[in-house]
């Protein structure tokens, strides 16, 4: 049985690590985007039925609060599961190092060989790293997990919750401010602009094709509003 070495014994959960900051930003962008699309679909559908300003306001606020709690709760559950998985992998890896140290060294060596290091050098590097900080290096190289850097589910939940509210305010305020008969068309135009911005931001954060990201986002939003408009118009 091999003793586990680690050079960083202090938990760093209270610090905003880069990966956690990106996770918070991701949750915020997605929350704002969902707030725009879902609440826009609600108010456009209600407006197409020629309902009163009070009904539009009530529908918009109800959709905003329900969606915000749903998004925030969903992010909390999702990130909590991810956090639990990270901690579980840490425990399993700790046991693997204690019980099968040589096998872990060989596994780490193969990882470096797959990155292009020659076998002798890969063995030397793996052995040195395992002697210095076995748990941290194996978690990082095998599972892309940094020791003691676990995502905080509350950060993502609050980011998603408040960003959903901010995003949903755009369709609510727009459709209340614009008079008939331009209420729906004016709201749709403002929503398309907002979706272009959030689509661009989301694609940039994910290092994806920006044009495709914007196109998918706008088409999803427009389709949502068209469907709810047709339903509201048929009822109204």
Task: Tell me: pLDDT of 15 over 50.
Answer: no
User: Residue 148: which of 19, 51, 40, 3 has the closest Cα?
Assistant: 19
pLDDT digit string, tens, across residues 162-212: 999 999 999 999 999 998 888 999 999 999 999 999 999 888 887 889 999
Token couple for 14 = 């209270």
Q: What is the pTM of this model?
A: 0.75
Domain boundaries, the chain: 18-235
Banded model confidence at residue 36, pLDDT cuts 50, 70, 90: very high
Token couple for 110 = 């193969």
Banded model confidence at residue 11, pLDDT cuts 50, 70, 90: very low
User: Residue 191: which of 163, 212, 220 has the closest Cα?
Assistant: 220
Query: Out of 18-32, 39-53, 184-198, 217-231, which region has the weakest mean confidence (pLDDT)?
Result: 18-32
The pLDDT mean for the chain works out to 85
Axis crossing angle, helix 119-143 with helix 53-99, rounded to the nearest 10 = 140
Token couple for 130 = 């395992």
Which residues touch 81 (CB under 8 Å, ≥6 apart)? none
Which residues touch 190 (CB under 8 Å, ≥6 apart)? 170, 171, 174
Query: Out of 39-48, 141-150, 188-197, which region has the weakest mean confidence (pLDDT)?
Result: 141-150
5 close to 133: Cβ distance less than 8 angstroms: yes
Write phi, then psi, for 174 (nearest 5 degrees). Answer: -65, -45
17 close to 146: Cβ distance less than 8 angstroms: yes
């Amino acid at each position: 049985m091999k003793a586990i070495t680690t050079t960083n014994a202090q938990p760093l959960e209270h610090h905003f690590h880069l990966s956690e900051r990106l996770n918070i930003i991701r949750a915020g962008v997605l929350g704002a985007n969902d707030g725009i699309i879902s609440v826009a679909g609600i108010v456009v559908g209600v407006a197409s039925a020629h309902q009163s300003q009070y009904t539009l306001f009530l529908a918009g606020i109800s959709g905003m609060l329900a969606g915000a709690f749903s998004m925030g709760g969903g992010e909390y559950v999702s990130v909590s599961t991810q956090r639990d998985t990270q901690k579980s992998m840490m425990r399993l890896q700790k046991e693997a190092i204690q019980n099968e140290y040589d096998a872990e060294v060989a596994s780490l060596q193969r990882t470096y060989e797959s990155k292009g290091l020659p076998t002798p050098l890969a063995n030397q590097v793996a052995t040195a790293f395992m002697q210095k900080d076995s748990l941290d290096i194996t978690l990082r190289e095998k599972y892309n997990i940094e020791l003691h850097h676990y995502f905080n589910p509350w950060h993502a939940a609050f980011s998603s919750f408040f960003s959903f509210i901010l995003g949903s305010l755009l369709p609510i305020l727009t459709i209340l401010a614009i008079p008939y008969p331009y209420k729906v068309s004016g709201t749709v135009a403002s929503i398309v602009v907002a979706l272009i911005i959030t689509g661009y931001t989301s694609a940039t954060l994910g290092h994806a094709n920006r044009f495709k990201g914007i196109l998918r986002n706008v088409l999803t939003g427009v389709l949502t509003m068209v469907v709810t408009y047709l339903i509201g118009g048929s009822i109204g």
